[in-house]
Structure 1
Amino acid sequence: MKQKNGWSMLILRIVLGVTFLIHGVAKFQMGLGNVAGWFESIGIMGFLGYVVSVIELVGGIALLLGIGTKLISALIALVMLGAIFTAKLSIGFIAPGGYELDLALLAMAVVLVINGSQLFSLDNKLFGSSKENTN
């Protein structure tokens, strides 16, 4: 059972990492000033656009490498909660641009916060299994 759980957590970590890496790259390509401006246009402090962009880009890379999985996943969960409650909730669950994907990504991040993911992770190679669940 532990082996299956390890592979499951690896799949979640990789999919979440790729997803946020791509979202982060997209934000950097569109220009962080534009991201900050969009944040301000929906009533959010513009500097949070920079913060979210960095979390997505660096967090995606960290998840792919298996560095700080629980911490990065917690940050991503906060980003998803912010996205749902500030930009998506009023649109609806399944409407175009709704929060269904955000909710799924939030759930993936929370599972990784709870379980971690050590299979093929740099954390496991560098520090062993002392802090994170061995699953």
Structure 2
Amino acid sequence: MTNRQYEYSLLVLRVTLGVIFLAHGLQKISQLDGVIQFFGSLGMPPFAVYAVAATETIGGAMLLTGFFPRIASIGISLVMLGAIFTTKLDKGLLNGYEYELMLLSAAVAVGLSGSRILSLGEALKAKKQPEQKQF
């Protein structure tokens, strides 16, 4: 695999993960009362809903645009670990936490590797660096 293929594969993973989390975050925001009740049934305080919804929405947008994808991946990884350990672990892998585990794995991969293609963060970095003269 060439470096270019590697970067494009990370782009696909980052954008897909971003779309999924942005959609989930917006869904939580649009159904806030129900999500607060669900979190409450798990013994979690209402502020946890706001933290999760913000992490999913903002983190998803950050991944989608490539704006600090490593930082976004950390937040999303923490949300997925929380989902696995609070609601899914007792159900087992199949029909339990396999989806969350896959999203966690994707977030860890993007977090470890970063993603430079079509990335707002990379564009801003390039703009900050002075152009080098070529002789």
CA contact (8 A) 1:35 1:50 kept: no
Match of 1:49 in 2: 49
Paired residues in the alignment total: 126
1:27 aligns with 2:28: yes
Q: Percent identity?
A: 41
- Following superposition, the deviation at residue 37 of structure 1 comes to 2.4
Deviations 1:19-51 (A, max 9, x none): 0011011111112x3322211211223211110
* Aligned-partner Cα distance in 2 for 1:44–1:100: 23
Instruction: Give structure 2 stretches of 5+ with no counterpart.
Output: 129-135
Deviations 1:28-77 (A, max 9, x none): 1112x332221121122321111000111111111111101000001000
Match of 2:132 in 1: none
The one-letter amino acid paired with 1:100 is E
Match of 2:76 in 1: 76
Output the aligned Cα RMSD.
1.3
More helix by share: 2
Instruction: Give structure 1 stretches of 5+ with no counterpart.
Output: 131-135
Task: Kindly name which structure, 1 or 2, has the bigger radius of gyration based on alpha carbons.
Answer: 2
* Aligned-partner Cα distance in 2 for 1:67–1:59: 9
Match of 1:124 in 2: 122
Structure 1 runs (4+) deviating above 4 angstroms are none
Q: TM-score, normalised by structure 1?
A: 0.88
Alignment match of 1:101 (pick from 99, 102, 113): 99
1:66 aligns with 2:66: yes
Match of 1:11 in 2: 12
